[in-house]
Chains A and B, each alone.
Chain A
Amino acid sequence: MTAQPPVDTPLWPLVLYCAIVMILAAFIVILSAFLGQRHRERTTNEPYESGIAPTGSARIRFDIKFYLSAMFFVLFDLEAVFIFAWADAARPLGWTGYIEILIFIAVLLLALFYLWRVGALDWRVEKHRRSKRQVTKVN
């Protein structure tokens, strides 16, 4: 590759920085591993479950609600990023820019309202149970 790395951009040393911090943190942990006590009894390495022997896999499956909330987060995050680009430029843009962003935010609010109405934002336990009961009935 013949690409010429830039020399004057101030942000790329962040990596170096990140690397140093990681090494330091790892050093602390390794130091502690050397200094710490080392003993091994019958249950030392057993996962803690309030004193009861663990049963079944600990890698339980999550409810779909967690996935949905992550999905909404990604989408809203994206919208926020676009608004970021606008916010920096809004001063010179004048009223057209303002109305454009107003439409943008209005659609966003509409989406939020839709999620609200559909019940995707409800984490109520009772509803969940009811839907489960329906499932068992059908089965």
Chain B
Amino acid sequence: MMSQLLSYLSLPLVHLILSLVVILAFLGVNGIVLIYVERKVAGFIQRRPGPYEVGPWGLLQPLADALKLLSKQLVTPMGADKILFWAAPILSFAPVVICFMPMPVSPMFTGMEMNLGLILILAFTSLNVLALCLAGWSSNNKYSLLGAARAVSQSVAYEIPLLITVLAIAFQTGSLNLSEIVASQTKGIWSWNIFVQPIAFIIYIIAVTAETNRAPFDLPEAESELTAGFHTEYAGMHFGLFFLAEYSYMIVVCAVATVLFLGGWHGPFLSGPFWFILKTYALILVLMWFRWTFPRVRFDQLLNICWKWLIPLSLINLVLTALLVKIVR
């Protein structure tokens, strides 16, 4: 019996389910931590204390928020398409979990070693827009629909420079396997792609800020114009799932940036996962810093930045990368 149990443990399937559990636990904790960090950082930048009532330094605030969300009524607005309205938050959250599978957190722990890991992440992050479409349309609310239209056209526009910059990195490494991309950046800090490909890094960061709908590109949920955008009508845990998905997307894009540009799990003294998480959260702090530094852009400006700057720049960057790689090797 015992030996049978052990043999099950070595199955790839069991490995998969184990990594699923780890990822889900991580995402839950991550959501709670990021809510707290975001509010504290906002407070720090705006010279106010942020949450401090619940628990020491307000540490229990996110837990209280989560409990509150869980106990709220799930309101379905009149005239809404009930099935789609209920399905949209679930559809928004599910694909993001898949994106963690090929992530090389350390040489030991990778959910799923695969050659096309990078494309897998890109494909599944692009599914988020569908959930937004459905959420916006099924709510029977004008704010929601406008927010969804903005969110979708913004996400799809910024996906192009994102794909092309990622391509440049993939080309430089000659692989789409995330572990191999990390392995190509082992020769000290100067071999990190952020120094090899600075333009690509800048384009990537701008594009993912827009992809995750964060300020200064948070037009889909611009509260002064659209109340809350596509999730205006969502209450309770429906909203909670959207929120969790948003923070999970943030951590996915930052983790991918860590892999592509910051040398993944490489670093002195400490073990791999520690460095990986440290770099990822440092990038998230940068995104939060953006949010409280830049004012929101206008919608036409937003799309112009993408079509007239980022896409041509990323294409030129790709051609130059290819040329340099050809000449050097």
Direct touch of chains A and B (CB < 8 A): yes
- Interface set of A (CB-CB < 8 Å, partner B): 10-11, 13-14, 16-18, 20-22, 24-26, 28-29, 31-33, 35-39, 44-50, 54, 58-60, 62, 66, 69-70, 73, 76-77, 80, 83-84, 87-88, 90-91, 95, 98, 101-102, 105, 108-109, 112, 115-116, 121-125
- Residue pair A37, B73 in contact (C-beta under 8 Å): yes
Please provide the 6 A-B residue pairs with the shortest distance between their CB atoms, ordered closest to farther.
Answer: A32-B237, A123-B300, A73-B156, A87-B171, A80-B163, A47-B141
Contact partners of B142 in chain A: CB under 8 A: 47, 49, 54, 58, 60
Docked Cα-Cα span, A102 to B303, in Å, equals 26
- Residue pair B70, A36 in contact (C-beta under 8 Å): yes
The answer to whether B293 has its CB under 8 Å from any CB of chain A is: no
Contact partners of A10 in chain B: CB under 8 A: 12, 112-114
Q: Which of B77, B163, B241 contacts A29 (CB 8 A)?
A: B241
- Residue pair A36, B73 in contact (C-beta under 8 Å): yes
The smallest C-beta distance from A8 to any residue of chain B, in angstroms, reads 9
By DSSP majority rule, is chain A's interface helix, strand, loop, or mixed? Answer: helix
Contact partners of B160 in chain A: CB under 8 A: 73, 76-77, 80
- Residue pair A17, B227 in contact (C-beta under 8 Å): no
Task: List the A residue with the shortest CB-CB distance to B301.
Answer: A123
Docked Cα-Cα span, A39 to B167, in Å, equals 52
- Residue pair B241, A14 in contact (C-beta under 8 Å): no
Docked Cα-Cα span, A11 to B113, in Å, equals 10
Docked Cα-Cα span, A125 to B301, in Å, equals 11
- Residue pair A47, B233 in contact (C-beta under 8 Å): yes
Total CB contacts across the A-B interface at under 8 A: 191
A33, A35, A80, A115: which has the most chain B beta carbons within 10 Å? A80
C-beta contact mask, B158-177 vs A, less than 8 Å → 1, else 0?
A: 01100110010011001110
Contact partners of B325 in chain A: CB under 8 A: 90
Q: Which of B101, B308, B326 contacts A116 (CB 8 A)?
A: B308
Task: List the B residue with the shortest CB-CB distance to A68.
Answer: B153
Docked Cα-Cα span, A76 to B285, in Å, equals 31
- Residue pair A25, B73 in contact (C-beta under 8 Å): no
Binds A, one of B87-95, B253-261, B262-270: B87-95
- Residue pair B16, A13 in contact (C-beta under 8 Å): yes
- Residue pair A36, B72 in contact (C-beta under 8 Å): yes
The verdict on A35 contacting B300 (CB below 8 Å), with A45-B76, A73-B160, A80-B163 known, is: no
The smallest C-beta distance from A116 to any residue of chain B, in angstroms, reads 7
Contact partners of B93 in chain A: CB under 8 A: 21, 25
Contact partners of B323 in chain A: CB under 8 A: 98
The smallest C-beta distance from A113 to any residue of chain B, in angstroms, reads 9
The answer to whether B290 has its CB under 8 Å from any CB of chain A is: no
The verdict on A101 contacting B71 (CB below 8 Å), with A29-B238, A76-B160, A121-B307 known, is: no
Contact partners of A16 in chain B: CB under 8 A: 16
